[in-house]
A = this chain, B = another copy of it.
Amino acid sequence: MAHVGEPRASSRRTVEPVKLSELGEDRFLARVRERLPEPGPAVVLGLGDDTAVLDLPEAERTLVTTDVLVEGVHFLRRTLPPRFIGRKAVAVNASDIAAMGGRPVGVLMSLMTPVDSSVSELMELFDGLIEQASALGADLVGGNLCTSPGPMAVDVTIVGASRRGRVLERRGARAGDAIYVSGKLGASAEGLRLLNEGVALAASGSLIVPNALRSGPLPLAEQCLRAHMDPEPRLELGAFLCENEVATACIDLSDGLALDLHRLCRASGVGSRIEESALPIHPGVLAWEGLRKRPPLDVALAGGEDYELLFTVREEGRLERWRQEGNVPITRIGEVTDSGQGIRLATREGSERSLEPAGWDHFLPPSGHRGT
C-alpha cells in the first residue's frame, strides 16, 4: 500500500483525511506532485499549470495517443489492485507509442472516480502510474481529477517523440512481406479467465487459487495473470524496427490478432495468409484451455490485450540482430498477399479458411465485456 503523506504539524486536524472528499482535488494533487521524481530534460513545466509544457527534440515528430481503462469494462476493482490499474493505464498507451517506433515523454491522466474514493487507494493508483512512467522513461506532466457518478475510469494520454525522424505506420505492408508477432499470444485473455474464476495475486505477490483449480499448472496461471494485470509495452522492439528500417508496417495487439491483422491489412490495402501451426500460443493458454476442453486458437486469435507488436518485414535478414540480442522473442506467422486474396488462415489440418475480424469491439454484441 502507498504511504499517504505526513501529518502536518501546523494542521488542526489530528486524523489524516481518508476520503478524497475530505482533502479536495488541489491538496490531493499537491501530494501527488511531492511524489514525482525529478523530471526529464524535455519537461519545461509539469503538473500544476493550465497545460504541461514540453521541449521535444527538434528533428523529431510529436506522437500522441489516448486510451482509457473503465471499471466494469476493462477491469474490476475487486481483482485489479489500484497500483496495477495505474501501471496498466500507462502501459496500454505506451504500447501504441511502441507500435509507432517512438519513445514516450509525457503522461497525462484524467481520473474519474466516485466521490467517496479513499485517498490511499487513489495514491496507490498514482504511485503505479508514476512508477510505470518512470520505468518507461516518461514523466507524469498533467492530469485532472473528477467525480464520477458511475464507475472509475482512468484515461491516459501519452505524448511521445519519434526516433531519428521516422515512424512505423500501419500502411506500409506489401504483398510478399513476412508477418511477424512478438511474444506469446492469448496469455492476457487467459489471465482474465483465471481472474474471473477466482485466481488472484495477493498484494504480497503470492498466488491465490480456488480449490477447484489447484491441480492445474499454477506457474503458467501466474504468468497469464501477470500478462493481464501488468502488460509490458514493447518499446525496445518498436525502436529497433523503426530505427533500422526493418518493419514495413506495424500495429500493437490490443484487440486480438485477428482484428488487429485486419486493421493493418486494411490500412495497407493488402491481404494476408497466417499459419495456425506457426502461431506462438502461450503455454498457459494451451494448458488451461486444454483442461477446459476448449480450443486454444480462439483465445490466441481474439482474446485481446496482448500488447505485442504485429509487424511486416521485407528483408528478414535485418531481424538477425534482434534475434541475437532482443529482449522478447519474435515469430514468423505468415505472409502478406494481394488484397484480393483476403485474410486467410492455413489450418493445422492443411485446409484454408477466411479469418474473420473477431476480437474486441466495444460495441459489437458477440464480443461480450471484458472484466466482468
A355 in the interface, Cβ–Cβ < 8 Å?
no
Which residues of B lie under 8 Å from residue A64 when comparing CB positions? 51-52, 54, 64, 106, 108, 141-142, 157, 159
Which residues of B lie under 8 Å from residue A45 when comparing CB positions? 167, 169
A80 in the interface, Cβ–Cβ < 8 Å?
no
Which residues of B lie under 8 Å from residue A67 when comparing CB positions? 110, 144
A23 in the interface, Cβ–Cβ < 8 Å?
yes
Q: A68 near B112 (CB under 8 angstroms)?
A: yes
Copies in the complex: 2
**Chain A 15-41, CB within 8 Å of chain B: the 1/0 string?**
000001101111010000000000000
Q: A150 near B147 (CB under 8 angstroms)?
A: no
Q: B361 near A49 (CB under 8 angstroms)?
A: no
CB-CB under 8 A for A50 and B100, given A66-B142, A144-B67: yes
Which residues of B lie under 8 Å from residue A70 when comparing CB positions? 112, 146-149
Q: A50 near B144 (CB under 8 angstroms)?
A: no
A90 in the interface, Cβ–Cβ < 8 Å?
no
The 14 sampled A-B contact pairs (Cβ below 8 Å) are: A24-B363, A28-B363, A45-B169, A49-B169, A49-B171, A51-B96, A51-B99, A53-B63, A53-B100, A54-B62, A66-B142, A147-B369, A149-B151, A153-B153
The 5 closest A-B pairs by CB, nearest first: A150-B150, A51-B65, A50-B99, A50-B96, A54-B62
